[in-house]
Amino acid sequence: SGESGRGFAVVADEVRELAKQTAVQAGQVTATVERLMSAVDNTVKVMALCEGEMKNSVDQSSRANSSIEEIMGTFATISDLNEQIANFCNTQAEHTNGILQAASQISSLTDSGNKGLARIKEELSSVSALIETQLELLHS
């Protein structure tokens, strides 16, 4: 009876230790998911700001009567930018769905999310530069 009691105590200790480790890992997973969701939210906000800037560019180009060729070029550029942003939104939505569906593989998704965010940052910089170029063209 004493031998099996000790065996049960050892098993109970192991179960408690595993429960503690599980709780710690669950907290880490939750924190990682929260950071990813925050990054996604920030990306969406930045994209909304870029969209607002593009709308301002369109308004300014509509008022500019200096050259029809220049206005047509501006609209073509803005159309391309809108298409790029739509593609980025779709890519971001795919990443978000992947995060929700594959929570058990959080470490690999964190890598993918970081790479995606870096690409988005680079593309947003490109979009901003294109918008600034268009604004300069409109003002010249």
Residue predicted with more confidence, 139 or 113:
139
Backbone angles phi, psi at 83, to 5 degrees: -65, -40
Predicted local confidence at residue 52, as pLDDT:
82
Residue 90's alpha-carbon distances to 31, 58, 78, 93, in angstroms, are: 25, 23, 18, 5
In the predicted structure, residue 1 carries a pLDDT above the cut 70: no
In the predicted structure, residue 86 carries a pLDDT above the cut 70: yes
Percent of the chain predicted with pLDDT > 90: 20
Predicted local confidence at residue 107, as pLDDT:
63
Question: What are 14-61's pLDDT values in tens digits?
Answer: 999 999 999 999 999 999 999 989 988 998 898 888 788 878 776 766
CB atoms within 10 A of CB 116: 19
In angstroms, rounded to a whole number, what is the distance separating the alpha carbons of residues 47 and 105?
27
